[in-house]
Amino acid sequence: MTNPDVKVQVNWTSTWFDPAVEGDAAKALIDAGADVIAMLIAAAIGGAIWALGPGLARAEIGVSEIITTLTLNEVGCDSFAISRTACGRTRKASGSRG
């Protein structure tokens, strides 16, 4: 079932992690009459996918979810260039963590 009257509005915050700016953007969408804020849906799906690995490892082979999630967080911080600031770390020119 489709709704031909659906309208999409995008608000760019140009920030990776700024709760005040992102909250203002969400409030603006709600005040404009938004029914669904895709950012929340995308975050929920992304979180569920991210947790799937440790959950399955725990359920299937008994691996500690604490160790698995700590390792997975490190992988995530090292994998995404933008997350260097989100993880609160920067790399020095020598490659050591600052």
Q: Examine the pLDDT at 98 and tell me if it is beyond 50.
A: no
Q: Could you read off the pLDDT of 70-83 as tens digits, one per residue?
A: 888 777 776 665 55
Structure tokens at 60: 């299937």
In whole angstroms, what is the distance from residue 7 CA to residue 62 CA? 47
The pLDDT of residue 10 = 81
With contact defined as beta carbons under 8 Å apart, do 57 and 65 qualify?
yes
Among 3, 23, 4, residue whose Cα is nearest residue 13: 23
In whole angstroms, what is the distance from residue 42 CA to residue 63 CA? 28
Q: Could you read off the pLDDT of 26-49 as tens digits, one per residue?
A: 888 888 888 777 777 777 888 888
Its pTM surpasses 0.85? no
- Where are the chain's structural domains? 35-98
